Structure 1
Amino acid sequence: MARVVCIHGIGQQFVGELGLHSSWFPALADGLTRAGSPDLVGPDDVRCLFYGDLFRPPGRTLAVQDPPLTAVDVGEGFETELLLAWWAEAARTDQAVPPPDARTLARVPRVAQRALNALSRSRFFAGIALRGLVLDLRQVRAYLCDTAIRDAVQERVAAAVTEDTRIVIGHSLGSVVAYEALCAHPRWPVRALLTLGSPLGIRNLVFDRLRPGGTGKPGDWPGGISQWTNLADEGDTVALVKDLRPLFGERLTSKVIHNGARAHDATRYLNTPEAGRAVSDGCGLG
């Protein structure tokens, strides 16, 4: 059974378990090679959990693209707040992106359109269609605000983790999923957590909405793990807060790495020596 369980993030609704494994495992193997442990993990040791289908509209075939969403489809409240946060972070790290001004932050009409127009200039969001950005916003909101979606995702995590699992890897929204799952199951044999491009540090929108399970509270140490490594690219707009230690404690190891133009790409995180060492140490525990 898999010693490593991987949990994907937003925008993966048209992939699947095998598709994720075909890209994530080679990247992870490269990271282990960089870390000096090339033979530690084989393909059967890695399981890629998939939940993207929960966000996919029913009745569509693989040939059908995302629904034609526009700025008017960005919901008030959570989705607009997250969009503005992405805009502000993109402007901070990319000179091509104009920053939001005081008038924008006061929620003028068409703020979503202005934010999307600004983000279209960002290297981070290059190649992502407007409708894709809107869908990403909706997926984050759906997991954090829709109990049925959240429970369905967590059920899949619980089914994927076995007595052999030693480390859980969560990318993007998957890091939120992983954190909550480990908090809710302190008796799991998992001994390490690796989070990549994580939004866990966004206070009002993500951190304050975490459900650690039972009587737990946001910021609790996740379950019975012994180590937690968080990797963030300085230009990763989703990972607004690069250092998670102020919120989750000094036991956590936070590292800033460089992924080039694809700052949020899961495979670029996985093929780093930092990720390889975290997996090597995690698989060697217990």
Structure 2
Amino acid sequence: MSWVVVVHGVGRQLDTAETLLAEVEPALRGGVELALRRDPTLERLTDGDIVCAGYGDLYRQPGTRGEPYYRAEDVEPGFEAELLETWWQEAARLDPRVPGPGTASLDGMNSGAAARGAVGRLASRPLSVGRVRRALSALTRTRFFGAVSERLLISDLKQVRRYFTEPELRAAVRARAAELITSETRVVVGHSLGSVVAYEALCALRPGPPLTLITLGSPLGLGGLVFDRLQPAPQRDGTGVWPAPVKQWTNLADSSDVVALVRELAPRFGPEVLDLPVDNGSEAHSMRAYLTAVETGTAIAMGLSR
């Protein structure tokens, strides 16, 4: 029984809960220690207080040698193509050195408003293979995606698409997080797609001891592709359902994080969400960088003191 449950994002199919913990634990503890330097009255972590919900193995192909060698032709129309172009649009908006799509620009628009309006436009415009190649070429030359090969970038697209379109996989992934959330849990941390997994797992639980939800680099606010596909679905007034066990929700996003395109979640889920900016330097979407931020450490330490 642990106080903190961490849920990872895509691209971790070669990890287990144990190998993830070896990476996550020192980063998370480091962030909390930075917070304690500012406020020594905050709660401290002890041994065994952190667990990771590993689900990467659910994406592994049995009997194969790693990921297939995906090419531009393997990017499927619909969800995958739309998400790829959404990332491309945002990368070009953030970095003038990135060659943009040459279509309706998001420049000069609030990123949240842009994301809410862009997906509908993209859905009606299929991407050619040539355009997919341009998008992949542009993204893999950015500061954000530069360390990721085209093959792995396409794999990430497919993992996100599969989560939202394959019900059995989605349920299995959520179960990995839900089984770790007990009456002893005080804080649930979700990074990237893991924030969606954590949110949906918490929404499926009944009210209990108060929990703190911390989302890092979250795509939860991205209309159409993510927000409108959530389970449970958004309410009639357009706001997302509040997870019953959650008393506090802190959302952290780097201003250059392309995945966290809608960086403020309060407009989507209610003013109770505390949206905080962080600076992850050249590792805008890195889970390690988010966890070592003093803002994240403070949110975790405050959640421990429920």
TM over 0.5: yes
Asked if residue 84 in structure 1 is aligned to residue 103 in structure 2, the reply is: no
Matching residue within 161, 174, 178 for 2:194? 174
Match of 2:118 in 1: none
Is the alpha carbon distance of 1:52 and 1:69 closer, same or farther for their aligned partners in structure 2, counting shifts above 3 Å?
A: same
Asked if residue 202 in structure 1 is aligned to residue 222 in structure 2, the reply is: yes
Match of 1:138 in 2: 158
In 2, the alpha carbon distance for the partners of 1:191 and 1:269 equals 20
Contact preservation (8 Å) 1:167, 1:190: no
- The two structures, once aligned, show a CA RMSD in angstroms of 2.1
Letter in 1 for 2:4: V
Contact preservation (8 Å) 2:211, 2:248: yes
| Percent identical | 46
> How many residue pairs end up in the alignment?
282
Once the 2 structures are TM-superposed, how far is the Cα of residue 189 of structure 1 from its aligned partner?
2.9
Give the structure-2-normalised TM-score.
Answer: 0.87
Consecutive unaligned residues of structure 2, counting only runs of 5 or more, are 106-121
Is the alpha carbon distance of 1:147 and 1:34 closer, same or farther for their aligned partners in structure 2, counting shifts above 3 Å?
A: same
Summarize the alignment of residues 100-111 of structure 1 with structure 2, pairs less than 5 Å apart.
Answer: 100-102=101-103, 106-107=125-126, 109-110=128-129, 111=131
Q: Which moved more, 1:202-211 or 1:255-264?
A: 255-264
Once the 2 structures are TM-superposed, how far is the Cα of residue 172 of structure 1 from its aligned partner?
0.2
Once the 2 structures are TM-superposed, how far is the Cα of residue 77 of structure 1 from its aligned partner?
0.3
Give the structure-1-normalised TM-score.
Answer: 0.93
Match of 1:158 in 2: 178
Q: Which moved more, 1:129-138 or 1:208-217?
A: 208-217
In 2, the alpha carbon distance for the partners of 1:202 and 1:213 equals 14
Contact preservation (8 Å) 1:179, 1:212: no
Alpha-carbon displacement from aligned partner over 1:47-68 (angstroms, at most 9, x marks no partner): 00100111111114xxx44211
Match of 1:48 in 2: 52
Match of 2:272 in 1: 251
In 2, the alpha carbon distance for the partners of 1:133 and 1:20 equals 20
Match of 1:98 in 2: 99
Summarize the alignment of residues 119-138 of structure 1 with structure 2, pairs less than 5 Å apart.
Answer: 119-138=139-158
In 2, the alpha carbon distance for the partners of 1:241 and 1:194 equals 16
Match of 1:23 in 2: 23
In 2, the alpha carbon distance for the partners of 1:66 and 1:262 equals 24
Q: Which moved more, 1:35-44 or 1:46-55?
A: 35-44
Q: Secondary structure at the match of 1:261?
A: coil
Contact preservation (8 Å) 1:175, 1:200: yes
Q: Secondary structure at the match of 2:134?
A: helix
Q: Secondary structure at the match of 2:253?
A: strand
Consecutive unaligned residues of structure 1, counting only runs of 5 or more, are none
